[in-house]
Structure 1
Amino acid sequence: MRDWLIWLGTGFALLVLSWALLIAAARLLPPGILRDLAAFVPDCVTTVRRLRKDPRVPRRAKIAIIAAGIWVASPIDLIPEFLPVIGPLDDIIVVALALRYAGRQVPRDVLLAAWPGDPHLMERLLGRPRTLPTTPPPTP
């Protein structure tokens, strides 16, 4: 029994150490696309938390955002997280789709205020702002 506990404790310590090393390595990344990708999922979690509490967000958008947050937090994934580079890909796609859906339901300034990361990344994710079609004045 004691050997089993030693192995379990060692495995847990190695897991925590690997997380700490990954966080330290992510902080050392130079500004650019890699740093943005490393911060994407934590920024999404913060955005989900902020939008969930915002009264200006409609219920349908809240449901989509919360579902995306649960997807990210869930240990069950379509692509296992331990695969390098493509592991978090399913999380990123689900969150991006949920935020784009919310972007159609929620005013853009509310989404940008909830996003803790680089606003240009959120602007790029949401796409161009929709403009209402204008009708030409009637000709006499």
Structure 2
Amino acid sequence: MWDVVIGVVAALALAWLTLVAALLISRPRGGLLREAIRILPDTLRLIRRLAADGSLPRGVRVRLGLLLAYLALPFDLIPDFIPVLGYADDAIVVAAVLRGVARRAGRDAVRAHWPGSDEGFAALCRLTGLSR
């Protein structure tokens, strides 16, 4: 019995460490993480607007819906009480999903739904790799 419990706990710990490592690998480099955190409120509104746009491909809307569900969960991969990383994990996940979504949806669709400033959109373009 204890072997099973220890095995399950070890497997969960390994899965968690793998997810944290994936977050660290996919995080934006340089000052982009700081920019991602700064534009996070506008980015969340963008995600909601893009997810509601029926003209976008279904795969894009599904990814955005799953991202919104992840953000709504009451727990995180890295708890928020851990300084810096606790809040950065949400920004990293949002940035990673947005890279693929923005490239698939296109710059024009993202710009049409962007609720923030031009400087914020420029930061989003740098973060997602969209050409300005």
Alignment TM-score > 0.5, same fold: yes
Describe the shift of the 1:35–1:78 C-alpha distance in structure 2 as closer, same or farther (beyond 3 A): closer
Q: More displaced, 89-98 or 110-119?
A: 110-119
Displaced runs of 4 or more, over 6 A: none
**Count of residue pairs the alignment pairs up:** 98
Percent identity over the alignment? 39
1:116 matches 2:112: no
One-letter identity of the residue aligned with 1:40: I
CA RMSD between the two structures: 2.4
Instruction: Say whether the 8 Å CA contact 1:115–1:122 is kept in structure 2.
Output: no
Distance (Å, rounded) in 2 between the aligned partners of 1:34 and 1:89: 8
Task: Provide the secondary structure at the position in 2 that maps to 1:88.
Answer: helix
State how 1:1-140 maps to structure 2 within 5 Å.
Answer: 36-117=35-116, 118-129=120-131
Whichever residue aligns with residue 44 of structure 1, its letter is T
User: Max radius of gyration: which structure?
Assistant: 1
Unaligned ranges ≥5, structure 1: 1-32, 130-140
Q: TM-score, normalised by structure 2?
A: 0.63
Structure number with greater CO (CA < 8 Å, separation at least 6) is 2
Flag the 1:39–1:73 CA change in 2: closer, same or farther, 3 A: farther
Which stretch of structure 1 is more off in the superposition, 37-46 or 91-100? 37-46
Task: Structure 2 unaligned segments of length 5 or more: list them.
Answer: 1-31
- Cα shift at 1:119: 0.9
Higher helix share: 2
Q: What secondary structure is seen at the aligned counterpart in 1 of 2:39? A: helix
With normalisation by structure 1, the TM-score equals 0.60
- Once residues 34 and 122 of structure 1 are traced to their aligned partners in structure 2, the CA distance between those partners, rounded to angstroms, is 11
- CA 110–128 in structure 1, closer or farther in 2 if over 3 Å, else same: closer
Q: What letter is aligned with 2:125?
A: E
